[in-house]
Structure 1
Amino acid sequence: MTTILVTGGTGTLGRLVTERLRADASEVRVLSRHSRPYAVDLREGTGLAAAVAGVDTVVHCASSPRGGDEQAARHVIEAARRAGVRHLVYISIVGVDRVPLGYYRTKLAVEKLIEESGLGWTVLRTTQFHDLVLQLLQGLAKPPVMLLPAGVADQPIEVAEVAARLAELAAGAPAGRVPDLGGPEVRPFPELARAYLRASGRRRPLLNVRLAGKAYQGFRAGGHLTPERAVGKVTFEEFLAGRLPVCG
């Protein structure tokens, strides 16, 4: 039986990847800062050697916008090398090489570390999860007027679909950079905001605001989108119907 370690295995994505792998009869170890018996802070790396011992594949889902991802990746790679791990699978984001956002730069740097690791590797880039877009819109709806980034669209995808693809890749051989995984539709932010307001039963006027900076320019240019890989099935409205009780 293949033994697979999922870092960040209690997070939004990692939990679903773990469930999917276990349903496919893989032996799965869950690693997070508080998950026993593999409670590891990847930025420190203490205890990681025991977690990867005897592991065939590592699915690296752990990530934090607060920093430390590059150091965490170095620890994972070093431990994987020493343990003879066959395959390292990494989840990244569409546009990390096109949108000059700090977090995106970090994800791209981790990709490069993995590519140069000497391990068998697979990298999958996806568009933003529905959950993240919902969280953003909930925050924007707190004031009396929803201020939206002018000229920006998004292509949200269902996290369960990403988990299914990652589990599939983890069960296979190292494949390098695989085709991106995008949500089913590219949607302007005002459309997404109206969908959220309808679903939540709220009313807010919308105001498009032009922002400054190269990252905003990258988003306006659609660097985070992959319309040619719109392979997701669940629409934003369908996602909202399952999450917000007012939907219907």
Structure 2
Amino acid sequence: MSTILVTGGTGTLGVLVVDRLREAGHEVRALARHAPEYPVDLSDGSGLDAATAGAEVIVHCASDTRGGGKDDESATRHLIDAARRAGTVTNIVYISIVGVDVVPLGYYRTKLRVERLLEASGLGLTVLRTTQFHDLVAQLVETAAKLPLVAPVPGGVRVQPIAVGEVADRLAELAVPTPSGRVTDMGGPETHTLADLARTYLTATGRKRPVLPIPLAGKTYAAFKRGGHLAPSHAVGRGTFAQFAAEVAAGRGR
């Protein structure tokens, strides 16, 4: 079995990847600022040398989502430098997003730059791009539903959400010493408009708020309307958004 690092090991995706890998018998080091065993600050690289010592594989899940990825590039540079110093890392598995090369959203552009940093590092690399997680769609709807009277969402945008647990399963499969390069994209099982998904979620969670699709302007919105973030030919996910919404409702006791 391998010694595997998981950056962002306490996050929504990372914690599931850690569980899968430990269940498979690997020695797993979950990296986060306040992790009990391997506290690591990727913003300045502190703690990385101890964490990477003897590791063969790194699953890079950490991302500054709240800050739009503003620290992701510097964090990845610190990770690359530590992996080189360790001299044992043969595969960095990176989770990316379908459409980072065609949708000009700032966060997507950052993810693409991180991909290119890793490609240029000379280290073994595996890149998995997926469509949006169910959780992200739910967060967008929850934010829209906080407004009075209606829940506004971008009109004409389709989404192909995927279960985060299924992505964790795939990353665990890819976390082996031999790198695979850019692997096949991974998309959810169904594609619906964001407005329809919002209605599904609000109905499942017991809210009758009307959903209002609103047309927007700009290149990013146009790219989303064109479906640059979708992977219709790779709809390999199994769990639907309706099932996810029902699970959320059940967890709230509805």
CA distance in 2, matches of 1:36, 1:105: 33
Query: Which of these residues, 69, 77, 82, is aligned with residue 79 of structure 1?
Result: 82
Answering whether residue 165 of structure 2 is matched by residue 160 of structure 1, we say yes
CA distance in 2, matches of 1:47, 1:218: 39
CA distance in 1, matches of 2:240, 2:227: 19
Conserved? CA contact 2:91–2:176, under 8 Å: no
Match of 1:197 in 2: 202
Match of 1:68 in 2: 71
3-12 vs 165-174, which moves further: 165-174
Identity %: 61
- Deviation of 1:214 after TM superposition, in Å, equals 1.1
CA distance in 2, matches of 1:247, 1:159: 22
Instruction: Tell me the matched-pair count.
Output: 248
Answering whether residue 128 of structure 2 is matched by residue 124 of structure 1, we say yes
CA distance in 2, matches of 1:178, 1:5: 20
- Deviation of 1:172 after TM superposition, in Å, equals 5.5
Please give the per-residue CA displacement for 1:3-51, whole angstroms capped at 9, x wherever unaligned. Answer: 0000000000000000000000000001001102211110110111111
Question: Match of 1:74, as an amino acid?
Answer: R
Query: Which of these residues, 212, 235, 238, is aligned with residue 230 of structure 1?
Result: 235
Answering whether residue 10 of structure 2 is matched by residue 10 of structure 1, we say yes
Question: Match of 1:63, as an amino acid?
Answer: S
Question: Match of 2:81, as an amino acid?
Answer: E
CA distance in 1, matches of 2:217, 2:129: 26
Question: Match of 1:36, as an amino acid?
Answer: P
Answering whether residue 103 of structure 2 is matched by residue 103 of structure 1, we say no
CA distance in 1, matches of 2:226, 2:108: 16
- Deviation of 1:161 after TM superposition, in Å, equals 0.2
Structure-2-length-normalised TM-score: 0.95
C-alpha RMSD over aligned residues: 1.2
CA distance in 2, matches of 1:3, 1:91: 19
Query: Which of these residues, 200, 208, 213, is aligned with residue 208 of structure 1?
Result: 213
CA distance in 1, matches of 2:188, 2:200: 16
CA distance in 2, matches of 1:195, 1:205: 11
Conserved? CA contact 2:60–2:92, under 8 Å: yes
Gaps of 5+ in 2: none
State the SS of the aligned residue for 2:102. Answer: coil
- Deviation of 1:247 after TM superposition, in Å, equals 8.3
Conserved? CA contact 2:100–2:112, under 8 Å: yes
CA distance in 2, matches of 1:175, 1:247: 43
Structure-1-length-normalised TM-score: 0.97
